[in-house]
Amino acid sequence: MNTPYAELGGEAGIRRLVQRFYTLMDTLPEAWEVRQMHPEDLSGSEEKLFKYLTGWLGGPPLYEQEFGHPRLRARHLPFTIASVERDQWLMCMKLAFDECIPESPLRTKLWTAIEGLADHMRNRTDPT
């Protein structure tokens, strides 16, 4: 079966995307708020996102094997995620997508899903 995981280059493709995402988050001043939600050493966060995306895209269920069901919204409740944090996260992911995933119907479909997922993570109302 041809999965998005396979179409994106398997482990190497997903690692490249995730590494680029975290490099952008760590270096772009425009991502300051979302960066502050993460530990100084991003390697653990990077590995978790790699494992999650691997399974989400149809590869081995690495995240679930190690941590159980993702329950993403519940796992993110301790963090303040409003539109600013969502938008900064999406900005970094969009730039990583632009660099790591060629234009295709698959990329469009995945981006739509990523946007919905990021919006679902919002757990605070925007300040007035």
Backbone conformation region of residue 59, classed left if phi is above 0, alpha if psi is from -120 to 50, else beta: beta
Domains and CATH numbers, the chain: 4-120 (1.10.490.10)
**What is the per-residue pLDDT for 77?**
87
Along the 128 residues of the chain, how does pLDDT read in single tens digits? 699 999 999 999 999 999 999 999 999 999 999 999 999 999 999 999 999 999 999 999 999 999 999 998 888 988 999 999 999 999 999 999 999 999 999 999 999 999 999 999 999 999 87
Angle between helices 43-56 and 10-27 (to 10 degrees): 140
pTM (2 d.p.)? 0.93
Residue 80 DSSP class: -
